[in-house]
A = this chain, B = another copy of it.
Amino acid sequence: MHNDMTPSHRLKELGIQLPTAWAPDSRSGPLPRLLGANVEVYAEFVRVVGRRATISGHLPVDDDGAVCGPFGRVGVDVTVEQARSSARRAMLGILASLARELGTIDRVSAWVRLFGLVNGGPDFRDYPTVINGASRLVYDVFGGEAGKHSRIAIGVGGLPFDAPVEIEAEVELNE
């Protein structure tokens, strides 16, 4: 991997295809399909204000951009390795939303912060290992400098669709 590669080149080099990104207000996307026709979606997936982009909480998605399993609590229904893979799939969804909003992920000049939420069983505490699935992908695609980020990984009592993990993020954009 060359340091002068762009993030979109690195994606290709790594053989990663981004999932389908759908608009938050889409009436035909996977979320309305799951939630029913009357779903109201008010939040943006990516909010750009100046050179900052804040990214809404993303659940793990399959290649079609639909929320995907395994579902359940980590340490009970879902293994740590599965949850780590789900965290990677949530980050793939974030990259897809960024590409949709910005045209290309190459407009991201620096990662700032990840907020990782783990739907952990009563005795599960190894939240960092789960969220490493997302952090690792960021470093692989954006490199050791632009990919740097602060992070907080916590356990929550539940997540929408009983997903094992959810990721929120913030990045800085090129001028």
A43–B112 touching, CB < 8 Å: no
15 residue pairs A–B, Cβ–Cβ below 8 Å: A40-B132, A41-B128, A42-B135, A44-B148, A44-B150, A47-B149, A47-B150, A54-B170, A55-B150, A120-B158, A125-B158, A125-B160, A126-B160, A128-B160, A156-B157
Q: Contact string, A22-46, partner B, CB cutoff 8 A, digits 1/0? A: 0000000000000000001111111
Say yes or no for A159: interface residue by CB 8 A criterion: yes
Q: Which residue of B lies closest to A126 (CB)?
A: B160
Q: Mark A138-151, 1 if CB is under 8 A from B, else 0.
A: 11000000001111
Q: How far is the CA of A58 from the CA of B156 in the complex (A)?
A: 18
Q: Which residues of A contact B (CB under 8 A)?
A: 40-47, 49-50, 52, 54-57, 110-115, 117, 120, 122, 124-129, 132, 135-136, 138-139, 148-162, 166, 168, 170, 172
Cβ contacts under 8 Å, A55 to chain B = 150
How many protomers of this protein does the assembly include? 3
- The reply to whether A47 and B132 form a contact with Cβ atoms under 8 Å apart is no
Q: Which partner residue on chain B sits nearest A57 by CB separation? A: B152
Measured in the bound complex, the distance between the Cα atoms of B117 and A88 in whole Å is 24
Question: Which of A54, A56, A154 gathers the greatest number of chain B CB atoms within 10 Å?
Answer: A154
Residues of B within 8 A of A50 (CB): 172
Which residues of B are found within 8 Å of A114, using beta-carbon distances?
43
